[in-house]
Structure 1
Amino acid sequence: MALRTLSAKNAAALDQELMSAGAFSIDQLMELAGLSVSQAVFKLQPLNKGKRILVACGPGNNGGDGLVAARHLHHYGYQPTVYCPKQSKNELYQRLRKQLEDLKVPFTSDFRTALQSTDHIVDAIFGFSFSGEVREPFPGVIEALRETKVPVLAVDAPSSWNIEEGPPKDGPGKGFMPEALISLTAPKPLVKWFEGRHFVGGRFLSKEMAEKYGLDVPKYEGLDQVVEVGVEGAEKL
């Protein structure tokens, strides 16, 4: 049976409730999300298959998740490079960048060149709050993601996809189907169009909160912060 999905509207409401009634800070939620992303990379791209990870970050919370993931990947022994052309001036994002700079994690402004010397890509450009037009410099980046043969892990949504309606019918994201997707907290409706490997991350929901939003909490194993589920959201056995 497929896991129930979380609409963009309810995802935003759940985040707000987690930070109020749930007593989580945005720092905690971003840290947990980024940790989940890093563990998904570890499962998809073991160190012995290539350590170079290119993390593409957008200006919103999805990009913050990518910055956190890059830090964890560095500590696992990977060699992350971060592309973050429109980073927020928000104090949290500045701290996340400083943490990476202290670790000597390189930042690049040339995505296509960095793409030529990486083993795996994390697409943390746009998440569940994305809607409307893809603005510069991201159209070219998404086209490169669509065209590359390097495996891509999308965070919460393949960038440019509509959360409710799936892949775009035109524009730079037309035909973009990454090899893997990690849905944070719960799958979004777009998963019905997704054809790659699918993970769920977000091992922090209480039973009461999950029930309130009509969500299924998959069975996480051991220390794992992620669990792989079927392409339609059904938990893999």
Structure 2
Amino acid sequence: MTCRKRSQDIQQFVVTAVQMRQIEERVFAAGMPVAALMEKVAGLVARRVEELYPVAAWGRVGVLVGPGHNGGDALVVARELYFRGYEAVIYCPFSRLKELTESHHRYCAALGIPIVGDTEALRSCDFLIDGLFGFGLERSLTEPISTAIHQINEGSQPVVSIDLPSGLHTDTGAVMGTAVRATHSLCLGLWKLGLLQDDALEYVGKAELIDFDLPLTDIQAVLGTLPRIQRTTSERAIAHLPLNRPPTTHKYKMGHLLLICGSRRYAGGAVLTGLGARASGVGMLSIAVPDSLKPILTAQLPEALVLGCPETEAGAIAHLPDELDWAAYHTIACGPGLTKEARAIVQQVLGSQRSLVLDADGLNILAELGTVSTLQARQAATVLTPHLGEFRRLFPDLAEEMSCRVTATRAAAAQTGAVVLLKGARIAIADASGATRINPESTPALARGGSGDVLTGLMGGLLAQAEASPGHSSLIDVVQSAAWWHAQAGILAAEERSELGVDAFTLSQYLIPAVQKGVGKG
């Protein structure tokens, strides 16, 4: 296996605390000395710290040391930075340390590195290294550590956390009483699930992986050859986009998507969904909207086949055209802007044998119908894309699972047989088999009305193309690619226009530049 291939694989793998322990136990049982591994890991961390905070500008470092091996890593980092010219001070308020950590503690003291028991000496440091607690923390932090962390968080120094910020739950990302607010988190070996959860984002800062060459055989012995939980990478997302077309293809081979969306009140929802679909490159696009919206949609999307539908007095779709031929479409995307008056429409769509993306009012109607469990009976693929409020309405019985968004998403997928995409700062996607994807990058700029409509159209278009050319990508792969593409467009737009400048229409215009940029990087 090439170094590049290994690097791509490692970036995808996500572990829980239990799985990481199992992998490490295999490595140690095979003969790797714990002390040797600590030296290697800490050496890589020290090198990265030196790149982030060069000694010429950041010469004084404070190192926070815990009682376990995370503290041992921190002590080795302190020693290495000391040898490279940094003025170091060690904060260690613990009287009992693990044997290896105690050994490094004695050596640092012998070198003359100051070791203190309170945080006052840290105030003059240019930056801090957090090595209090690593993965596996299961109880809330108490005094005096909680007060020390509070004082550190009140300061202005950058903080580099080793593995994950002290005080975060390894799996859920929840704060265990209190937690360090890191500027950088240098995750060791494999991505910890907690770093990819919404609850952790306020504390993680910029996260990156320190690969210290855990053998793939040991990783796969615990996680399997295809790990159930994977972190989306640009390489993986791009690989499942329909970027290369056969030279003799035509529009009918490139997928036909039917959008059912919009109302007089929410005309923009139909337009934005259509713009997202347009960017997907789908061969044929049909849009069913209330009759009064047909001129608007035709003006905005002249290439689309716009189907005007009879409408209610309030301007919602009353029923679909009688001549509608479900067999003509590869995929249906339904929901944005419908209003809950369109209950009969959603029921009709659920009864179709076409692959389906259900969003917004489509989900709200499904929740009111109380028929979520009946999705198991659908013969075609189903994708649900709820935000947190919609998820809770759809799955009230999963309230206890919400402490971990990934666990909740997997439970919802198992319950429905659908692919479930739970929106948030870190989108979680799961299918009925338990396969899970987490999109690790996004931007608060996407917290705007209409952003989700763009995603629905984009995803529907990609799924229609996959249905037209089956075999290349699984359903979860297509959904993962849509979520990645949508997030990258938001990130690029925010970079160029600021987070305030990314309305949903603007977002739709950045979809093609974002994928061009992603392909260029690859």
Tell me the TM-score normalized by structure 1: 0.82
For 2:133, the equivalent position in structure 1 comes to 126
Once the two structures are overlaid, the 10-residue window that deviates more, 195-204 or 2-11, is: 195-204
CA contact (8 A) 2:93 2:118 kept: no
Q: CA deviation at 1:102?
A: 2.4
Q: CA deviation at 1:54?
A: 0.5
Once the two structures are overlaid, the 10-residue window that deviates more, 33-42 or 59-68, is: 33-42
Find 1:18's aligned residue among 23, 27, 49: 27
Question: 1:63 & 1:135 partners in 2: Cα distance?
Answer: 17
Pair 1:183-2:391 in alignment: no
For 1:82, the equivalent position in structure 2 comes to 90
Larger RCO: 1 or 2 (CA < 8 Å, sep 6+): 1
Question: Which amino acid in 1 is paired with 2:22?
Answer: A
For 1:151, the equivalent position in structure 2 comes to 158
Question: 2:95 & 2:15 partners in 1: Cα distance?
Answer: 27
Q: Which has the larger radius of gyration?
A: 2
Question: 2:78 & 2:155 partners in 1: Cα distance?
Answer: 21
For 1:36, the equivalent position in structure 2 comes to 44
Cα deviation code 1:93-152 (max 9, x no counterpart): 2321222122211111121x1221001101111110211121222101111232221000
SS, match of residue 61 in structure 2: strand
Q: CA deviation at 1:61?
A: 1.1
Question: 2:182 & 2:63 partners in 1: Cα distance?
Answer: 14
Question: Which amino acid in 1 is paired with 2:50?
Answer: F
Question: Which amino acid in 2 is paired with 1:163?
Answer: T
CA contact (8 A) 2:46 2:81 kept: yes
Question: 1:142 & 1:40 partners in 2: Cα distance?
Answer: 23
For 2:221, the equivalent position in structure 1 comes to 212
CA contact (8 A) 1:32 1:202 kept: no
CA contact (8 A) 1:191 1:232 kept: no
Cα deviation code 1:141-188 (max 9, x no counterpart): 1112322210001111111111111142x7333xx5311001111110
Find 1:142's aligned residue among 146, 149, 153: 149
CA contact (8 A) 1:87 1:93 kept: no
How many pairs were matched up?
218
Instruction: Name the CA shift for 1:48/1:201 in 2 (closer, same or farther; >3 Å).
Output: same
SS, match of residue 82 in structure 2: helix
Question: 2:171 & 2:63 partners in 1: Cα distance?
Answer: 25
Q: CA deviation at 1:8?
A: 0.2
Q: CA deviation at 1:86?
A: 0.9
Question: 2:99 & 2:13 partners in 1: Cα distance?
Answer: 35
Question: 2:101 & 2:134 partners in 1: Cα distance?
Answer: 16
CA contact (8 A) 2:67 2:97 kept: no
Q: CA deviation at 1:204?
A: 2.4
Identity %: 26
Find 2:65's aligned residue among 54, 57, 61: 57
Find 1:100's aligned residue among 103, 108, 124: 108
Q: CA deviation at 1:89?
A: 4.5
Structure 2 unaligned regions, length at least 5? 1-7, 234-438, 442-483, 485-520
Question: Which amino acid in 1 is paired with 2:187?
Answer: S
For 2:398, the equivalent position in structure 1 comes to none
Runs (4+) off by over 6 Å: none
Pair 1:199-2:208 in alignment: yes
Question: Which amino acid in 1 is paired with 2:41?
Answer: A
Once the two structures are overlaid, the 10-residue window that deviates more, 202-211 or 138-147, is: 202-211
Question: 1:207 & 1:6 partners in 2: Cα distance?
Answer: 14
CA contact (8 A) 2:17 2:136 kept: yes
Q: CA deviation at 1:210?
A: 3.3
Tell me the TM-score normalized by structure 2: 0.39
Question: 2:174 & 2:53 partners in 1: Cα distance?
Answer: 25
Instruction: Name the CA shift for 1:89/1:125 in 2 (closer, same or farther; >3 Å).
Output: closer
Q: CA deviation at 1:92?
A: 2.1
CA contact (8 A) 2:67 2:101 kept: no
Question: 2:174 & 2:12 partners in 1: Cα distance?
Answer: 20
Task: State the Cα RMSD in Å.
Answer: 2.5
CA contact (8 A) 1:40 1:199 kept: no
For 2:449, the equivalent position in structure 1 comes to none
Question: Which amino acid in 1 is paired with 2:440?
Answer: E
Question: Which amino acid in 2 is paired with 1:144?
Answer: Q
Structure 1 unaligned regions, length at least 5? 219-230
Q: CA deviation at 1:79?
A: 1.1
Question: 2:61 & 2:95 partners in 1: Cα distance?
Answer: 19
